[in-house]
Structure 1
């Protein structure tokens, strides 16, 4: 039986680390297809419709709009469409200051980001659609490198690379930033090999002809990008298009955020599974490794712990195992209370994993959607 427990523990651990270690390592064996440089865009630029949804963003929306207008003007043939999802903090009044430059749609009640983005898409006929979040910052020349790869007709969607700008604010922010650096590193290799497998909503561009309006209860960024993938087009990550946003500074906020994101992601995967299961094998390998298996990480680690427990008891004895477990728990609790950095980072990572697990449960057994949500306050500072 000891051998069975050892094999089970090893199997669970291998599956848990596969999306973050084994998968990116195996990508080196796939043919590399570098993305197009920004210089290929030329002067004849395709029309672009920039779509953004905003909730209570009064603290940052003026600067966001100034940056977005500067970027649109630098690109050229771009229109800006903004949906205000029932904000109550003065966001609408600030947005109306830019009424001569943007197409503003105001909802008096909250209907959700996806509803708003679907509405904005219908308000232009541009060849390319750009989706972006209301809390990101970027340089003025961010759009050109996102559009350049569309010179290749096989490319259907291009994503900016997201950087968390406040890793020094707290251990929770440092943990979130470190995780996202790893994610972006994987995406960079993925983009040049099997193709990017889905995008986040910070900023991305896709061909209008590939747009399929997602149901309002599903998150639009992952849905739209996976639909493009299911239509046989490549997704790329642009190394020259960087956007910046803040990570949550409190571990409890990150738990709530990860719970929502995991639930939304699993809902999209379940809705699109009939299409995604027919992907060509390189793309399906990337999808299963990077987009499905990683949401199982908390359960796989729990399985490894449960399998390792009888193994540890057999090797070291029950008293020692219980003593180590109790000492570790006390050390974490004390470290968190004393604001000891390493302990706080461990707690932040554990709460993040708990949030993912709760989100999966919300989707599969709870039927939740998170069509509307309250963003973390520390993200908006």
Structure 2
């Protein structure tokens, strides 16, 4: 129980306590760094949104050379839209078969000859100044990659930023004030092109692998809050749950297969990685052990305190179930918060099982865009 409490409460408090000791270690950047940039967008069956993404790329205001490379294995007409838009700024690499996002990114990087590459997604729309803001910190050799601020919107255009996402962004700010973060968004991520290493084929969380490689080298990962992008997220809890199962499988894949080669080499990023990532991935098993041990204790030593501990958990899970089943109930924080917390941990657990079974999750299932 203490470890679970540290994961969600103790770690943020630790970051807060460290603030006055270290001061804000984020280095200012003058914004005069304008290397050539290629935005790489891996797409699969994004016909409903690809034209908007192309126009978003054209609307980027960047003083240096800026191009967009779309790499596609689509079968729904996405390629036809992209072919009609190709010019000096927009280009298309068509893949003959679908072998997953990491394969697509590796193939795309063979075509990139710019100084910096930005990885983005079809449903991630950049503010006009976002590329300039994202690239500026890379003028500092101590910074290995840069991630921006992702603002979430549901499909109807309303804010999708719930309490959890605000909590996550707060953690990134606190981590960044210490000099580096360990959490990045694959839709708004910049790295020097000559430092990209081919991704292991089949890896599910390519953005995390890219960031951890930089931390392993002793570089920092910068959270650049002024580099703003908007992403449309599924409004249905089922779609969100499916997405999180896949992310969970990718997280455990990193833990099982790659942690030994990607674990940060310095103390601070190592603590951040353990606290912000690994312990959270272990959350389902902590919750299960707490519930089972509480039930066992209540059976062996029945008392008001032991029954209260069990009862509190049962009520919490009941509220979560109501929140997951009822859209009306989910509008209330008392149901929405436990529903999100429990569904997130159930998704992690299922992702773990997929990872252990070796289920082939290389291929993205596109969530509804409209």
Normalising by structure 1, report the TM-score. Answer: 0.85
Q: Where does residue 59 of structure 1 map in the other structure?
A: 48
Q: Take 1:107 and 1:250, find their aligned partners in 2: how far apart are those partners? A: 31
Q: Where does residue 3 of structure 1 map in the other structure?
A: none
Q: Take 1:271 and 1:244, find their aligned partners in 2: how far apart are those partners? A: 32
Q: How does 1:174-193 map to 2 (within 5 A)?
A: 177-193=162-178
The residue matched to 1:268 in structure 2 has which SS?
Answer: helix
Q: Where does residue 204 of structure 1 map in the other structure?
A: 189
Normalising by structure 2, report the TM-score. Answer: 0.87
Change (3 A) 1:13 1:125: closer
Q: How does 1:17-36 map to 2 (within 5 A)?
A: 17=8, 21-28=12-19, 29-36=21-28
Q: Take 2:271 and 2:311, find their aligned partners in 1: how far apart are those partners? A: 42
Q: Where does residue 105 of structure 1 map in the other structure?
A: 93
CA RMSD of aligned residues (A): 2.9
Q: Take 1:35 and 1:26, find their aligned partners in 2: how far apart are those partners? A: 20
Q: How does 1:1-381 map to 2 (within 5 A)?
A: 9=1, 11-17=2-8, 21-28=12-19, 29-37=21-29, 40-42=30-32, 45-71=34-60, 74-85=62-73, 87-100=74-87, 101-166=89-154, 177-218=162-203, 219-277=205-263, 279-311=265-297, 314-316=302-304, 336-337=325-326, 339-340=328-329, 341-342=331-332, 343=335, 346-363=338-355, 365-377=356-368, 380-381=369-370
Q: After alignment, is 124-133 or 269-278 more displaced? A: 269-278
Shift of 1:34: 1.6
Aligned length, in residue pairs: 361
Q: Take 1:360 and 1:298, find their aligned partners in 2: how far apart are those partners? A: 10
Structure with larger RCO (C-alpha < 8 A, sep 6+): 1
1:313-332 deviation digits (Å, cap 9, x = unpaired): 62239988888877777666
The answer on whether the counterparts of 1:267 and 1:369 sit within 8 Å (CA) in structure 2 is no
Change (3 A) 1:152 1:359: same
Change (3 A) 1:284 1:77: same
Structure 1 segments of 4+ aligned residues over 4 angstroms from their partners: 167-170, 310-313, 317-335
Shift of 1:27: 4.2
1:29-57 deviation digits (Å, cap 9, x = unpaired): 444312434xx132x62111211111111
Q: Where does residue 5 of structure 1 map in the other structure?
A: none
The residue matched to 1:76 in structure 2 has which SS?
Answer: coil
Shift of 1:362: 2.0
The answer on whether the counterparts of 1:18 and 1:289 sit within 8 Å (CA) in structure 2 is no
Long gaps (5+) in structure 1: 1-8
